[in-house]
């Protein structure tokens, strides 16, 4: 099987490195020619909870070099999803499955608009990684990866993907209700990511201060109201307790949105808290706290070069 990972960020490099342990042909498709050349030459360097090791993979910024793919895994930022699937269009055929392992809501739909929903597999992953440099990551957390189709069907290839992932150490299972899982992860991200980006605190610190704890609670409560109005069943009975427990379990983690802010990069705020604001407006659910969080993060993004040193 030829497997192509689109986007060599922290998650893309982590998945590619682990899949390199398999017997399959592993490629990274990157938008940056320079970065692809670095990874092709030096491989992927890992440190952290899985030890210090190096993985060898093929890498390119030109889909023509890959020719075709059996499985494409999208690991880009959500705002790059459309350009990512367009860049991979040349290697996607009727028998190619495309898996999204991204944050936020809407990625499955964006990919399906380009290639058709029958080829798309949604996914959520609790793997944790921090990008330290081009092709250099710190493996920060082991967690379950869950995949599934929006229509609940389980084709043979999806079982093959699960087997491949499990064999290389990416603990994976299949769900017939991936939409609920995607939204459940969204609820967690809504409570954590924007607050860390604004306060520059590690995950665990958010529940140590009265102010951040109250804002977290309000943001999550609004998101849950939107999910209920959409009749989406979340996988946990007490969403607020779940978000707080995730903060504690990942206490030293630097959330992805905070990583983006520290690097003065664009964030995924539109695909996380922004989703709650947009869906809330369309459903008649008020989301003032999420709206403020979106405004604040966008202000940070737009003022990187104006900030007091």
DSSP 63: G
User: Among 52, 27, 53, which Cα is nearest to 40's?
Assistant: 27
Query: Are 66 and 28 contacting, i.e. CB atoms less than 8 angstroms apart?
Result: no
Marked catalytic residue, from 45, 179, 185, 242? 185
Sheet holding 71-74, edge to edge: 58-60, 25-29, 2-6, 71-74, 97-100, 120-125, 145-148, 172-174
Instruction: Give CA–CA dist 60/32, Å, rounded.
Output: 8
Distances (CA, A) of 118 to 104, 122, 188, 271: 21, 11, 28, 23
Residues in the chain: 309
SS (H, E, C) 72-141: EEECCCHHHHHHHHHHCHHHCCCCCEEEECCCCCCHHHHHHHHHCHHHEEEEEECCEEEEEECCEEEEEE
Annotation marks residue 21 as catalytic: no
Instruction: Give CA–CA dist 68/90, Å, rounded.
Output: 7
Residues with active-site annotation: 185
């Amino acid at each position: 099987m030829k497997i192509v990972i689109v986007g060599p960020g922290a998650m893309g490099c982590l998945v590619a490195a682990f899949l390199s342990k398999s017997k399959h042909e592993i490629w990274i498709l990157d938008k940056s020619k320079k970065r692809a050349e670095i990874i092709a030459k030096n491989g992927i360097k890992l440190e952290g909870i899985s030890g210090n090791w190096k993985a060898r993979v093929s890498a390119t910024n030109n889909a023509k070099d890959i020719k075709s793919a059996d499985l494409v895994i999208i690991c880009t930022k959500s705002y790059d999803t459309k350009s990512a699937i367009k860049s991979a269009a040349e290697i996607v055929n009727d028998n190619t499955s495309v898996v999204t392992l991204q944050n936020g809501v809407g990625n499955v739909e964006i990919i399906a608009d380009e290639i058709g929903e029958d080829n798309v597999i949604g996914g959520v992953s609790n793997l944790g990684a921090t990008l330290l440099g081009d092709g250099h990551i710190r493996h920060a957390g082991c967690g379950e990866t869950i995949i599934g189709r929006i229509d609940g069907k389980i084709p043979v290839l999806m079982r093959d993907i699960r087997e491949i992932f499990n064999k290389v150490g990416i603990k994976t299972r299949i769900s017939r209700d991936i939409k609920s899982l995607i939204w459940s992860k969204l609820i967690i991200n809504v409570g954590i990511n924007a607050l860390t980006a604004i306060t520059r605190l590690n995950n665990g610190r958010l529940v140590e201060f009265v102010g951040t704890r109250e804002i977290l609670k309000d943001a999550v409560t609004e998101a849950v109201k939107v999910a209920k109005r959409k009749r989406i069943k979340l996988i946990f009975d007490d969403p607020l307790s779940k978000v707080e427990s995730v903060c504690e379990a990942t206490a030293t983690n630097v959330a992805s949105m905070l990583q983006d802010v520290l690097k003065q990069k664009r964030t995924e705020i539109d695909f996380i808290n922004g989703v709650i604001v947009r869906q809330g407006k369309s459903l008649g659910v008020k989301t003032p706290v999420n709206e403020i969080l979106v405004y604040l993060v966008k202000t940070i993004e737009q003022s990187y070069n104006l900030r007091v040193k």
